[in-house]
């Protein structure tokens, strides 16, 4: 069995490869090849633009691939959504396709764009959005640098954003969200019916989910005297509750827990005040729930 897996080329490429690394797969790329190596003999990778991924998966050229829900919807692709993977090129959250206009314009809602020109890469989705608001406008495909087009080349744009910083830098304001999107692992319908390929995809899903669960979290191990345990537990948050085990030395306990990495710098000093010894912080690749 060989699973043909599409890896998104472009802005999501590095984030996807890093996510697979955390999940336990080593993917190696070359600037001269669209066929990355992977240390799993049951997987064959191919780099494909996210915009085209869903079409190739639907047609069976690929068994599965990773792409945005936005491009699945744009292409109206008939595929199986195996997993929602909430990661993006800059953050761990979703991205938004927004309707943006010049700050100095008099546009405040979608209805103000009746008869105007809107530039976007997401043409069909934008047309459906406008129709849902009863607006008729000219929607032009944009090959890139969309945010620089208003007000000379377009009256408004529909553009993807994580932080909005690029829009603000080009003196644009957001007047509505057209679509929220995140990366999905998708599969060809026939491939999903193949028992071996389905089992492989379910394994990949579990490992990728585990890697995403671990993003921004660390493990913490520490030793505490039994008399101080209550004080320590009052300091420690956890996914459910810390793991506590006896040490060889009587009346001393080992505590193991998982924390948000951003909180550790505040918690460690409080743990020391509570009488903790031997604090060890360590990175996490996966948390499989």
With a CB cutoff of 8 Å and minimum separation 6, the contacts of 209 are: 83, 85, 288, 289
**How many angstroms separate the CA atoms of 25 and 35, rounded?**
15
Q: For residue 238, what pLDDT is reported? A: 62
Residue range 19-39: average pLDDT? 93
pLDDT tens string 141-172: 998 889 999 999 999 999 998 888 889 999 99
DSSP-assigned letters across all residues of 24-39: T--EEEETTEEEEEES
Helix or strand run (H / E) with residue 174: strand 172-181
Averaged pLDDT, 67-79: 95
Nearest CA-CA partner of 206 in 144, 135, 286, 110: 286
User: In terms of Cα–Cα distance, which of 273, 210, 271, 289 is closest to 281?
Assistant: 271
**Residue 240: pLDDT band by 50, 70, 90 thresholds?**
low
What's the pLDDT score for residue 239? 55
Distances (CA, A) of 127 to 74, 116, 122: 10, 13, 9
**Alpha-carbon span 65 to 50, nearest angstrom:** 9
Structure tokens at 32: 């001269």
Mean pLDDT rounded to a whole number for the chain: 93
Residue 132 CA to its chain's centroid (Å): 28
The Cα 228–Cα 233 span in angstroms is: 9
Residues 40-64, mean pLDDT to the nearest whole number:
96
Q: How far apart are the first and last CA of the chain?
A: 28
Q: Where do the H-state alpha helices sit in the chain?
A: 13-23, 50-58, 69-75, 123-132, 165-169, 189-193, 195-214, 229-235, 261-273
pLDDT at 163: 82
Is the pLDDT at 93 greater than 70, yes or no?
A: no
Q: CB 73: neighbour CB atoms within 10 A?
A: 17
Q: Which tokens belong to 152? A: 């000379």
């Amino acid at each position: 069995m060989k699973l043909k897996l599409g890896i998104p080329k472009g802005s999501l490429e590095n984030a996807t490869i890093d996510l697979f690394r955390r999940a336990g797969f080593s993917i190696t790329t070359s600037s001269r090849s669209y066929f990355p190596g992977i240390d799993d003999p049951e997987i064959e990778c191919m780099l494909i633009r996210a915009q085209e991924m869903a079409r190739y998966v639907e047609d069976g050229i690929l068994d599965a691939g990773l792409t945005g829900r936005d491009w699945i919807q744009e292409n109206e692709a008939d595929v199986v959504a195996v997993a929602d993977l909430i990661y993006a090129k800059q953050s761990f959250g979703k991205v938004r396709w927004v309707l943006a206009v010049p700050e100095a314009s008099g546009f405040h809602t979608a209805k103000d764009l009746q008869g105007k020109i809107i530039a976007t890469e997401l043409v069909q989705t934008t047309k459906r959005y406008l129709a849902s608001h009863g607006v008729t406008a000219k929607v032009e495909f944009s090959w890139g640098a969309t945010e620089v087009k208003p007000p000379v080349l377009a009256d408004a744009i529909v553009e993807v954003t994580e932080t909005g910083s690029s829009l603000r830098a080009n003196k644009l304001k957001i007047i509505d969200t057209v679509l929220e999107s995140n990366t999905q692992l998708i599969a060809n319908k026939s491939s999903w019916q193949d028992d071996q390929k389905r089992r492989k995809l379910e394994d990949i899903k579990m490992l990728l989910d585990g890697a995403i669960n671990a993003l921004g979290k660390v493990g913490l191990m520490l030793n505490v005297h039994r008399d101080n345990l209550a004080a320590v537990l009052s300091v420690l948050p956890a996914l459910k509750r810390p793991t506590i085990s006896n040490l060889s030395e009587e009346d001393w306990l080992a505590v193991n827990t998982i924390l948000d990495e951003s909180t550790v710098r505040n918690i460690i000093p409080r743990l020391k005040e509570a009488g903790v010894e031997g604090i060890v912080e360590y990175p996490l690749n996966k948390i499989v729930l």
